[in-house]
Amino acid sequence: MSQLGELESIDRAVAVLRERLGPARVAGLRLGMVLGSGLKGFVRVLQEPLEIPFREVPGWPQPLVEGHGASLVVGTVSGLGVACLSGRVHLYEGWRPNDVVRAVRTLRRLGIGSFLLTNAAGGIADDMAPGDLMVLRDHLNLTGQSPLIGPHEPAFGPRFPDQTRVYSPRLQQLLLATGARLRPGVYAGLLGPSYETPAEIRMLRTLGADAVGMSTVHEAIALNAMGAEVAGLSLVTNLAAGISPQPLAHDEVVAAGVQAGAALIALVQDFCKRLGASRSGSV
């Protein structure tokens, strides 16, 4: 699909969401979230939730690993209108970058200005332990791909978007202001699906990465280009390959996510409250 077809596809999805949500809900939406491992339970804290399965939104890709369960859940947290993408698609499933960012682009076109992207990650920095949380202050896109490749579509941002501050300092401050144990760091986004080799982790450490994962960077690139303010939050589910002698297992990554879930949900709830009380441009 060309970029022009991409815009039409997204605007069809926008029209369907406007119809399903109604003007009052759409007008109240302030925050878009992508829920990674460990934060799926967040939808349970939404007040007046309305759930729309991905399959009912035209053009939205279905996550292959999760099969069922991928849905958009819209509701409020302390009066703040929030749209949660519970389930995301990854490049390693065979999707293209445009597919990976279609849902967040749709939410941006729907009028949402602020986004919180969450993920599970392997810890690289010396002081990291499983269960730690990292606020993204920057990223390394090491996927070799970008959602902005192709003919230029002005609705998706400038041809050569500035990326000096992909992760909004204001939203980082709001996350840190919750008082939760959070450390700022750099997230390296890789293609996957194999975990890294110890040599790759040594390379990433040298390059300045504090944590590594297989998502988030393309969503952040697409949203930053569209003028949204973006925050990123990583749950460190394991030490990266070679740092601990144990081999990495997906089940352990999932289990660590579940374990840290409650604290993470409380933190994000507090962030929503602070975001609701703040005004764009202030903390």
Query: Catalytic amino acids?
Result: 37, 68, 90, 92-93, 120, 214-215, 238, 250
Min. distance of Cβ 195 from ligand HPA in angstroms? 5
Counting contacts by CB under 6 A, is residue 234 touching ligand HPA? no
Query: Cβ neighbours of residue 143 under 8 Å, at least 6 residues apart?
Result: 91, 97, 189, 190, 191, 217, 218
Counting contacts by CB under 6 A, is residue 253 touching ligand HPA? yes
Angle between helices 102-109 and 3-28 (to 10 degrees): 50
Maximum pairwise Cα distance, the chain: 54
- CB nearer ligand HPA, residue 86 or residue 168: 86
Between strands 29-35 and 80-86, the pairing is parallel
Counting contacts by CB under 6 A, is residue 238 touching ligand HPA? yes
Q: Which stretch binds ligand HPA (CB under 6 A): 38-46, 72-80, 84-92, 114-122?
A: 114-122
Min. distance of Cβ 132 from ligand HPA in angstroms? 12
Min. distance of Cβ 217 from ligand HPA in angstroms? 12
Asked whether the beta carbons of 173 and 283 are under 8 A apart, the reply is yes
Assign 75 to helix, strand or coil: strand
Counting contacts by CB under 6 A, is residue 196 touching ligand HPA? yes
In the set 34, 121, 135, 228, which binds ligand HPA (CB under 6 A)? 121
Q: Distance between CA 117 and CA 134 in Å, rounded?
A: 12
Half-sphere exposure of 35 (CA within 13 A, CB side): 25
Locate 24 and state its tokens: 């009052």
- CB nearer ligand HPA, residue 76 or residue 237: 237
Q: Distance between CA 140 and CA 240 in Å, rounded?
A: 16
Q: Distance between CA 144 and CA 130 in Å, rounded?
A: 28
Counting contacts by CB under 6 A, is residue 248 touching ligand HPA? yes
Min. distance of Cβ 222 from ligand HPA in angstroms? 20
Binding mask 201-220 for ligand HPA (x = CB under 6 A): -----------xxx------
- Which residues make up the interface to ligand HPA (CB under 6 A)? 120-122, 195-196, 212-214, 237-238, 240, 248, 253
